[in-house]
Structure 1
Amino acid sequence: MAAQAGARDPGEGILSRVAGRVYWYATVGLLVALGCVPSLVALLMLDGSPGNVLVLPLCLAPAVPFVSAGLFTLHVRARAEEPAPARTFARGLRLNTSDVLLLVVPALVVLGIVATSVVHREAAGIGTVYVVVLLVVALLVVLWALQALVLASVFRFRVRDVARLALHYLTRRPGATVGLLALVVVAGGVVAVAGEVGLVVVGVAWLWFLLRVDAPVLADVTDRFVA
């Protein structure tokens, strides 16, 4: 009996596509989690004493390239089907590591300095108003670093251009900025409830939402500077 024209390939069924997506996201999540292990170990080795506050943010630095590679891989999949997530992840790691470290590590240093000032506010004679100002500065630094991380992970721009664009879009796209703030709150809540390991476990979902929240910014950058 002749095969019917246009018969569906069994590999293109719903179950096959679902299984492919599960495998794809699970692979990316596992790779990101493995990249976060050095940071988790460093955080576990340091206690929460005031003397360690300065270096605690820097413990996150080893995880930054892997988070960037995860964003790169998720963005590639959103544009086209990619059968080899590990290979795409490795490409993102190779392309983006130096840029994202140049952008994010200074932000982590600033956060460490701010945290130290807040923790030692009484010894330094810092008033309540100044503490509030420092906390606002820290929040803006976190939002800027997230925006810069996304832009550097997706586009191939110079580091200084990414830094300027990240600052520009914090005010130009307030909806995306509010979304970033919401994700920061969610991440903080997950850490408060389940610890840093809990955040790593749901990391791939958090990164997916990060790209979704920042989609208007990515679209505008593409239209203005890429397309």
Structure 2
Amino acid sequence: MSDATRSGRQFGDGPLGRFTALVHTLLVVELLLLLTTLPGLLPLLLLDRDASNLPLAAACLVPVGPAVSAALYALRHQRPDPTDLRPAALFRRGYRDNLPGALRVWVPALLWLTVVAVNLAHLAAAAVPPWWAALLLLVAVAVALCAANALVVTSLFTFRTRDVARLALYFLVRARGVTLGNLALLAAAAGVTAVFSEAVLAMSGALFVLAFLRISDPMTERIRKEFTA
């Protein structure tokens, strides 16, 4: 074995090598996230924050689901070795393979959330009691958390859509740490969007996806052990 090969392996196995690999992977994934969500992100930034634009905003968010699915796949399968970095190839593979499944999960969730958001925006006109707004908020949060679980499952495993939905609902209750972690991450994303803009959230998308993946690790490990051969 040559000195150069030995040195490369030592660098790749050390903390500096792993950190370098992670930074490179996050930068590439962030760039690809921006490119794949750009068709929806640009018109979304131009929309006024008005209730009448909620269906248009939902349509603009359709590309986000497949992009996040591809990012989850790339971050999950990328080896922490600076001599074997393939985040772009992994992202492309994840996008291609996961596109149908991600859309089957993401589009219905967007439709549900849009309906809830439109109803919340017109509560005063509907003259409904205050508790109805709280119930709608609970429904929206539950839909978002189920969609998050389903997106992870369909991105990292091969199941039928109905089985993906069942697993998402099952782990919403049985993996409480994952549910609470995703709830905190969802609140953080909403806070960044409210205080800054959707553009700031998009520019930190790879970090949010990495956190999303790490939070979901207990769920994915249980699925691997209990539901796969």
Q: TM-score, normalised by structure 2?
A: 0.90
Counterpart among 194, 201, 207 of residue 199 in structure 1: 201
> For residues 1-227 of structure 1, what are the structure 2 equivalents within 5 Å?
8-10=6-8, 12-13=10-11, 14=14, 17-77=18-78, 82-227=84-229
Opposite residue 52 of structure 2, the aligned amino acid is G
Contact 1:54–1:115, Cα closer than 8 Å, also in 2: no
Q: The residue matched to 2:63 in structure 1 has which SS?
A: helix
Opposite residue 47 of structure 1, the aligned amino acid is D
Q: The residue matched to 1:209 in structure 2 has which SS?
A: helix
Opposite residue 50 of structure 1, the aligned amino acid is A
Superposed CA deviations along residues 186-225 of structure 1, whole A, max 9, x for unmatched, are: 1111112321111111111111111111111000000011
Structure 2: distance between partners of 1:33 and 1:163: 28
Contact 2:70–2:94, Cα closer than 8 Å, also in 1: yes
Q: The residue matched to 2:48 in structure 1 has which SS?
A: coil
Opposite residue 76 of structure 2, the aligned amino acid is H
Opposite residue 32 of structure 1, the aligned amino acid is L
Contact 2:116–2:136, Cα closer than 8 Å, also in 1: yes
Contact 2:78–2:86, Cα closer than 8 Å, also in 1: no
Opposite residue 134 of structure 2, the aligned amino acid is V
Structure 2: distance between partners of 1:105 and 1:7: 48
Contact 1:38–1:63, Cα closer than 8 Å, also in 2: no
How far 1:131 moved relative to its partner? 0.9
Structure 1: distance between partners of 2:180 and 2:18: 33
Structure 2: distance between partners of 1:181 and 1:95: 27
Opposite residue 7 of structure 2, the aligned amino acid is D
Identity in percent: 38
Contact 1:32–1:67, Cα closer than 8 Å, also in 2: yes
Q: The residue matched to 2:197 in structure 1 has which SS?
A: helix
- Residues 5 and 110 of structure 1, relative CA distance in 2, 3 Å threshold: closer
